[in-house]
Structure 1
Amino acid sequence: MDKKSGLKSIMKKNDCPDKQGNGGAKKNLKFVGVNGGYETTSSEDSTGEEDQDEVEEVDSSEPEVEQGEESETAQEEAAATGEQGDGVQAEVAEGSKEPDVAQAATRPQEEQPASELVDKNFMAACHFLKDRMAEVAAPNKEMRQVLMVLYQEWFRVSSQKESQAETVTLYLREVGYHTPTLLRYIVNLADGNGNMALHYSVSHSNFSVVKLLIDTGLCEVDHQNKAGYTAIMLAALTAAESPEDMEVAQQLLRMGKINARASQSGQTALMLAVSHGRTMMVQVLLDCGADVNIQDRDGSTALMCACEHGHTEIVKILLDRPECDISLTDKDAHTALSVAMKASHSEIVELLKARADPATVTDPTAQL
């Protein structure tokens, strides 16, 4: 039996709505911007009740992964939806080879029973796809079915809050050993909302899985989802609970463009960390090369964000940077000092006055 007919046989045998997406449920993987703060919750498995992947974009700059409850009507009206299997983000040249180091890192041990633990439909889909990458851009019905199997199983294994590093390791090893040319493609699969496994594992603070993904050396860490956020931006919002987690977060920060701006708001990872009061992460971002003076689309800087929210310790950290320019103004001609005064954060006002040139603070209320 050839691979093509073998795949058809497997998929026909297991053909059911919640498995193959034939009129049934798809994984409810949501990426939501919500006013009022960042809160990490899990994406859910396909249960036969959700109909499609969904991105919801509310008037806010804070990204959030939200659990599978139905959203408010106002949020649904702003949603941009997309199905898994369409708009593949990672490109793999047909017949291309991954680096030898990646293959070696994912080669199963001789006694490893991975083939018994990895979903057979998933591996059948990999074998079907490896020599047909040119068909992915304009998939026919059969290719769409194969991609659906691939997407659903990969996101089920890698992108849940409860995803286990050991299981993800088995999948990476099996793909790297049997279909090595697909390893980059699998690692960088993006769902209909533009979210990769890296986005989800970072949002869940599942740093053991994050490390597996970035250690392949193949992960596109600067990829922005449809809401405009990279995994690095999301890492800025996490509260790493252990030195090991923080080490992985630092590894990720050093791998990509730490000063990249979110496509919608123009905010950087540093601004997100500042606005959410992530003091330790602010220090780490600065140590990794974050630019303290970048301005978002409204002209605000990280310092202005800290002044507005009253994060005194973060203001001190930012002012300790000699390059921190407190004279910058936003689009409304406000400086960090005028922002702090308007918000009545007196301690921050004194810190800024102490740092400023006396000639610039003779009449700070004039800027209000």
Structure 2
Amino acid sequence: MFWPLCAKTVEPCSIQTWWMYSYPWMCEKFSSKQMGNHLIRGSTMRILSIVILVITLLATAGCEKKSPFVTIDLLEAAARGDLTGVKNLLDQGADVNVKNKDGITALMLASADGYKDIVELLLTQGADVNGLNNNGETALDLTSYTEIKVLLRKYDQSATPDFLCYAARVGDIHAVETYLARGVDINARETEGLTALIEASQEGKKDVVALLLEKGADINTRTEYGLTALMAASRNGHSDVVKLLLAKRADVNIKNTYGDSALSIASKMSHRDIVELLHQHDAAAK
């Protein structure tokens, strides 16, 4: 018969497995006295065998043999920064979330060593950004690279205000858009009490400031100590951001809990260009 030969040369699939168990049953049925012994002889049995072979080949057409070492190779390729190798192994069916004995994944290895292209490839292939190693650490915990932190947070479906504020602080406008699209409150505060607008303003990220204002960020929101986006930009000398905030009607005379306004802060920091800008917008020197 053809079936035993096929069973040794192909990997099992669901339909193939069905035939593995159904074939003996069929033979038994066709050989029973009730069906007649003549059914297991001659051309009828040969035709039945050919039908089984054809169906088996069709069922296994999409089944590819995979090396048991493919997933192990994926970890090694990620660790050495081999983008082509990682891509080829994923194409061969390597498990993108496979772990070694320490719970380390390819994503963790690539993130820790700063291989951004590999990190991005793994994420697009479904790598678990929140996966934990045996020490309870994620890929985000293991990397010190800012661009990779932003990338990992971008793919984290459990986005929080901290993620939004971090993206605003480093000026990643695409990540900011992603978090806002996922429903993160634009005026939410991160753990230190800052909003995304204040973070972007104090770091001089004008494009992000513009986006946040366009999306409805509260321009005059204050921290626990009364710091506003205008004060933050004025303190750090970001005149282009100050101009933008003033154009959007930021309140120039708000004072923090220490009695300082954007004007007094800019004066203390000797940012004369910003002092002039604030005076032009009726900032009170008091």
**Which TM-score bucket, shorter chain as reference?**
0.5 to 0.7
Give aligned pairs, total: 198
Report the equivalent of 2:147: 204
1:199/1:331 CA distance change after superposition, 3 Å: farther
Paired letter, 2:146: S
Report the equivalent of 1:287: 214
> In structure 1, how many angstroms separate the alpha carbons of the residues matched to 2:218 and 2:264?
22
Deviation at residue 239 of structure 1 after TM alignment: 4.3
Deviation at residue 203 of structure 1 after TM alignment: 2.8
Report the equivalent of 1:167: 122
Between Structure 1 and Structure 2, which shows a larger proportion of strand residues?
A: 1
Match of 2:277 among 351, 355, 366: 351
TM-score, reference length from structure 2: 0.55
Between Structure 1 and Structure 2, which shows a larger proportion of helix residues?
A: 2
1:114/1:331 CA distance change after superposition, 3 Å: same
> In structure 1, how many angstroms separate the alpha carbons of the residues matched to 2:107 and 2:148?
18
- For CA contacts below 8 A with separation 6 or more, give which structure has more relative contact order: 1
User: 1:290 aligns to what SS in structure 2?
Assistant: coil
Verify the 8 A CA contact 1:273 1:279 in the aligned structure 2: yes
Are 1:341 and 2:273 matched, yes or no?
no
Pairs within 5 Å for 1:43-192: 112-115=91-94, 118=96, 120-121=98-99, 149=103, 154-157=107-110, 161-163=114-116, 164=118, 165-172=120-127, 186-189=128-131
Pairs within 5 Å for 1:250-289: 250-255=177-182, 256-264=184-192, 266-289=193-216
> In structure 1, how many angstroms separate the alpha carbons of the residues matched to 2:105 and 2:216?
37
Verify the 8 A CA contact 2:130 2:138 in the aligned structure 1: no
User: 1:293 aligns to what SS in structure 2?
Assistant: coil
TM-score, reference length from structure 1: 0.44
User: 1:204 aligns to what SS in structure 2?
Assistant: helix
1:299/1:195 CA distance change after superposition, 3 Å: farther
Verify the 8 A CA contact 1:203 1:235 in the aligned structure 2: no
> In structure 1, how many angstroms separate the alpha carbons of the residues matched to 2:167 and 2:145?
6
1:159/1:318 CA distance change after superposition, 3 Å: farther
Paired letter, 1:113: Q
Structure 2 spans left out of the alignment, 5+ residues: 1-67, 80-89
1:253/1:113 CA distance change after superposition, 3 Å: same
User: 1:114 aligns to what SS in structure 2?
Assistant: coil
Q: Return 252-261 or 308-317, whichever deviates more.
A: 252-261
Compute the RMSD of aligned alpha carbons.
3.9
Match of 2:170 among 238, 247, 251: 238
Deviation at residue 204 of structure 1 after TM alignment: 1.5
1:289/1:167 CA distance change after superposition, 3 Å: same
> In structure 2, how many angstroms separate the alpha carbons of the residues matched to 1:233 and 1:202?
17
Deviation at residue 235 of structure 1 after TM alignment: 0.8
